[in-house]
Amino acid sequence: MKLNKGVLFVLIGAGCFGFTPVFAKLGFSYGYSLGQINIIQMLFSAAILWSLTFIKRSSFKGLTRKNTPQIMITGCFIGLTSVFYYGSMQYLPASLAIILMFQFVWIGIVLEWIFSKVKPAPITILSIVLILTGVFFASNILNGDIHGLPVKGLVYGILSAFTYSGFIFFSGKVAVQVNPWTRSSLMATGSAILILILFMREIPTVLPLEMDLVQSAIGVSLFGSILPPLFFAVGAPLISGGLANILTSVELPVAILSASLILSETVTPVQWFGIAIILVAIVLNELGTNYFKKNEKIEQHVT
């Protein structure tokens, strides 16, 4: 029963994140800028997370003068991801922006190799090749649809993948002994401060608050910054880390489906084929890595 609940909660969390492009595009369609959406999103996220932290009476044990700014700086990667990810959607179809951001999978593997000296296994290298192959098909290069698209949008999309992989990498290294809710709230605070600095000139433009801006920004916040961590916090401890990583990949098809059904973006069979290859590569990497780790443990035990 615990396993089923864990799987369900992680799937819901990943699925929630897949709806963020809908609200981002909605905000842009109302004529709001990237800065306006990000300002309201980050302030709302920080306020809600701190409220939940205090309601749950989460512990502040383990916080120091050294690791507190480190946690907040780690949160800045989420702020940058939001800027680049939604920024790419200003110039590109949401489906392509999502595929570009999803390159965080193989970028994260490269970061581990560079900074942690963890050399990728052959199965991981195969997965990277498959992911890049999937991107080739999913981006619809074969039909020439990617030609003529603004380079700025493509650059933003790739940058969002780098900043998101950076967040995942550093969030697993910085002050991991601190209560997850407290860490999340501090990260959200760091992200909010960064956004306020980057879009300082646009702060006056969000006042007085308009309902369309609030709805789109809060939608992005709920489905991108609040609900996924809530469901992951409940579900992830009930299942293995490898299974959790596999399940979170459901974000990709959910995001593409929402872009197709709600935003009426065209997704061709070739693109779906590419998306399927990416998902297979993620599953292959997780299952293959776990399989080889188990075999190594068995061999060590035998010897």
pLDDT tens digits, one per residue of 74-95: 889 989 989 999 999 998 888 8
DSSP 8-state code for residue 268: -
Q: Is 53 left (phi over 0), alpha (psi -120 to 50) or beta?
A: alpha
pLDDT in tens, 44-55: 999 999 998 999
pLDDT in tens, 92-132: 888 888 888 888 878 888 888 888 777 777 888 888 888 88
pTM value is 0.83
Q: Is 264 left (phi over 0), alpha (psi -120 to 50) or beta?
A: left
For residue 286, the one-letter residue type is: E
Residues 191, 78: contact at Cβ < 8 Å? yes
**What does the alpha-carbon distance between residue 280 and residue 239 come to, in Å, rounded to a whole number?**
20
Q: How far is CA 243 from the centre of its chain?
A: 17
Q: If residue 238 lies in a helix (H) or strand (E), which one and from where to where?
A: none
- Give me the residue spans of the domains in the chain: 2-302
What integer pLDDT is reported at residue 10 of this predicted model?
79
- pLDDT at residue 2 above 50? no
What integer pLDDT is reported at residue 193 of this predicted model?
95
Across the chain, mean pLDDT equals 82
**What does the alpha-carbon distance between residue 13 and residue 228 come to, in Å, rounded to a whole number?**
4
Asked if omega into 237 is within 30° of 0 (cis), the reply is: no
Residues 15, 258: contact at Cβ < 8 Å? no
Query: Burial of 180 by CB count in 10 Å (0-12 exposed, 13-18 middle, 19+ buried)?
Result: middle
Candidates 149, 13, 166, 199; CA nearest to 81 is: 166
